[in-house]
Structure 1
Amino acid sequence: MTAQQAAVDAAITESLAEPSAGVARVDVGDETTLETAWGLADRRHDIAMAPTHRVAIASGGKGFTALAVMSLIVDGTLTLDTTARSILGDDLPLIDDRVTVRHLLAHRSGIGEYLDDDADLSEYLLPGPMSGYVSPEDYLGVLDGHESIFEPDSRFSYCNGGFVVLALLAQRASGIEFHELVRERVIRPAGLTATDYLRSDRLLGDAAVGYVQVDGAWRTNVFHLPVIGGGDGGIYTTAADLQRFWRALLAGRIVPADAVTEMTSMVTPPDESGEGVGYGLGFWVPGPGRVRLVGMDAGSSFASEHDVATGTTASVLATTGMGAWGVGEALGIDNL
């Protein structure tokens, strides 16, 4: 047993005590050096998690949104300097007229946040039934009414609402429904076979169920999150598809290489982000040649990082809000 496998096994033992379920995988080049799963993918039916299960990756989906937007920049539908106002018209009047696609992608827009990222995971954060949030247009009501918190591009502040706005801009500018746009511009070009926006009220048999603890009892997260993921996260994927994703991205099969370089270059340094990790345009940048996606929500925690120099991809996907972190650190994904 390798030292890494021993560390992962110990972290999984702690994660099981939560209890959580998840998948961890490491690939070095074409070789899978570690692959394991733990816990129950579906507690009601006592179904064990397998490495092939699809798991929701929360804010990890922001990378997919960013790539869909960048594909529209590549084809001339948008530019990085396109203002949100030029597409929103009279909608969301509190968004500063100077806010651009670049600012939104970099979390430097200053727009007011619709979702409290620091709230307890057990809280119900969105009004109305979760089945009412499908299209980016459905979020206009909750995005509205939030004052800007700083001047555009004056600093970094992680903003879920900014990526919902990006989905709205992309859908309106392209004339293509947002989820289909991501499928057409990201999922299919990358050759991802098990990645999609699944509805929580119609999960496929190979999709793991997310769980959140409410009043001391574990419940599914179906009433905590929109019925289908959107611009700020919620896509389902597998550890194997994440390996395919990073390889396709860096090979220029999703957007051209120069666009990938721009997205994965550090815009905000680690000390300014406050997370100990830098940020580019839709991707975390832990350091030179390293790129990362991370997510956490009610019933989901996730991290996947690729190191260009070594060709190493490490991924962990879990079905609770805290289940991934110890395992991710054991995989070498630091500052989670």
Structure 2
Amino acid sequence: MLVKDSTAEDQGIAFGWSNRAERLENNLNTKFGIASGCKVFTAVAICQLIEEKKLQFDTQLYELLAHDLPLLDPNVTIHHLLTHTSGMPDYFDEDKMENFDDLWKTTPMYTLRQGKEFLPFFQIKPMKFKPGERFHYNNAGYIVLGLVVELLTGKDFQEYVEENVFTHCGMVNSRYYEMDKLPENTAMGYIQGEDGWKSNIYSVPVKGGADGGAFVTAVDMIRFWEALIDQSLLSEDMSEEFLKPKVRVKEGVSYGYGLWINTASEQVYKYHVMGYDPGVSFHSCYYPAEKLSLAVLSNRSSGAYEMMKVVEDVFSKS
């Protein structure tokens, strides 16, 4: 966990095992999987391409990927995908499925290294609702955004983000590592079962992509917030647009482009991203009034949210 406030002082703590078998401890430079926490990187990538005039928020997805998505409503736009309001079917339907592991019973997770390999999970399913009708969290929508990045840049999605987001922010220890090629000082994800702990290597795709699965450090995540808020990652106008609430999720909570936005009395008091997978728990926030950044990374399936709330309570009382 790492906290950075307006005094530019870092306050961090690391504990637990990054590798239980070898009894290697976590530290502040340990790389953790962050699951859906990296959707915000995908959103930044799309906004960069919009700034380059290669795309628009109201560009219809059908114009770009109609041959891959034959049942797609032609009115689905890039904005709908970014805000989870497209109505597209998902590859993991939380309304019908409880266990993420169920996905890999017919398609081994070790075969999924590129976004296009997820298409068979959802490309011939019918739309769930009309575009723009409501918010419904959707991983497939972000998979498709990754395919758009690849189509417009001629690069693998992961390569584009590593070059144009991570490198730009100084996120020197962050990458879309493959689970079977993890570098040193990377936390293995662990799942607790009735017979003890097991790793998550058979529970998540072998390589992350546009919907989730990057590995970052706490230090690097703080650097991302700094670059986003300082408007050095996107232009001033695009940065302001990026940080506006786009769709109401519930009272006091909205979604923007790749991140959650909490408001009170119509004022934003927290921007945050989060990710949960088997063996992964992640929360990271920026509090604009306090100019405070927070990153909590865990290689267990839960715990990051609880830690974040403890830190919030401490700072609210100080």
Q: Same fold (TM over 0.5)?
A: yes
Does the C-alpha gap of structure 1 residues 214 and 304 become closer, same or farther in structure 2, counting only changes over 3 Å? same
Partner of 1:160: 139
Distance (Å, rounded) in 2 between the aligned partners of 1:44 and 1:311: 39
1:279 to 255, 277, 280: 255
| Residue identity in the other structure for 1:56 | G
1:114 and 1:146 in contact (8 A); partners too: no
Higher mean alpha-carbon deviation, 261-270 vs 40-49, is at: 261-270
Q: Which residue of 1 aligns with 2:286?
A: 306
User: Which residue identity lines up with residue 254 of structure 1 in the other structure?
Assistant: L
Shift, 1:145, TM fit = 2.5
Assess, with a 3 A threshold, how the Cα gap between structure 1 residues 153 and 216 changes in structure 2: closer, same or farther: farther
Deviates more, 1:212-221 or 1:148-157: 212-221
Q: What 5-or-longer segments of structure 2 have no aligned partner?
A: 314-318
Deviations 1:212-262 (A, max 9, x none): 235544211111111110111011111111111111111222211221221
1:232 paired residue number: 211
Q: Is the 8 A contact 2:91 2:118 kept in 1?
A: no
Distance of aligned partners of 1:169 and 1:214 in 2 relative to their CA distance in 1, 3 Å threshold: farther
Aligned partner of residue 160 in structure 2, secondary structure:
helix
Instruction: Out of 212-221 and 316-325, give the one that drifted further.
Output: 212-221
> In 2, are the aligned partners of 1:122 and 1:213 still within 8 Å (CA)?
no
* CA distance in structure 1 between the aligned counterparts of 2:167 and 2:286, rounded to whole angstroms: 20
Where does residue 316 of structure 2 map in the other structure? none
Give the C-alpha shift of residue 271 in structure 1: 1.8
Letter in 1 for 2:218: A
- C-alpha displacement of 1:174: 1.8
Match of 1:248 among 217, 227, 246: 227
Counterpart residue number, 1:189: 168
Change (3 A) 1:216 1:244: same
Question: Aligned equivalents of 2:226 and 2:155: distance in 1?
Answer: 26
Say which is worse superposed, 141-150 or 225-234, in terms of deviation.
141-150
Which of the numbers 20, 27, 45 marks the counterpart of 1:50? 27
Q: Name the TM-score, length of structure 2 as normaliser.
A: 0.91
| 1:123 aligns with one of 70, 90, 101 | 101
Taking a change above 3 Å as real, the CA distance of residues 322 and 121 of structure 1, as seen in their structure-2 partners, is farther
Aligned pair count reads 308
User: Which secondary structure state, in structure 1, belongs to the residue aligned with residue 272 of structure 2?
Assistant: strand
Q: Does 1:75 align with 2:52?
A: yes
Give the conservation status (yes or no) of the 8 Å contact 1:73–1:80.
Answer: yes
Q: Do the aligned partners of 1:212 and 1:219 also contact (CA within 8 Å) in 2?
A: yes
> Among 86, 99, 120, which residue is 2:63 paired with?
86
Output the CA distance in 2 between the equivalents of 1:219 and 1:260. 41
Query: Bigger CA drift: 138-147 or 304-313?
Result: 138-147
Q: Which digits, 9 at most, give the CA deviation of each residue in 1:146-185, with x for residues without a partner?
A: 2211110011111011100110111112211111111122
More moved, 192-201 vs 320-329: 320-329
Distance 1:50 1:294, change over 3 A: same
Runs of 5+ consecutive residues of structure 1 not aligned to the other structure: 1-23
Q: Structure 1 stretches (4+) deviating beyond 3 angstroms?
A: 30-33, 116-122, 213-217
8 Å contact 1:121–1:321 — kept in the other structure? Answer: no
Identity %: 33
Deviates more, 1:89-98 or 1:237-246: 89-98
* 1:325 shift after superposition: 2.0
Indicate the residue corresponding to 2:311 in structure 1.
331
Residue type of the alignment partner of 1:152: P
Q: Deviations over 1:258-289 (max 9, x none)?
A: 212212211122427xxx52111111111215
Q: CA deviation at 1:114?
A: 0.9
CA deviations 1:117-154 (Å, max 9, x no partner) are 46445733233222211111111211222221111001
Describe the SS at the equivalent of 1:309.
Answer: coil
Q: Is residue 2:88 matched to residue 1:111?
A: yes
Matched, 1:142 2:121: yes
State whether residues 63 and 283 of structure 1, in contact with CA within 8 Å, keep that contact through their aligned partners in structure 2. Answer: yes
CA separation of 1:278 and 1:133: change in aligned 2, threshold 3 A = same
With over 3 angstroms needed to count, the CA separation of the structure-2 counterparts of 1:305 and 1:53, relative to structure 1, is: same
CA contact (8 A) 2:101 2:204 kept: no
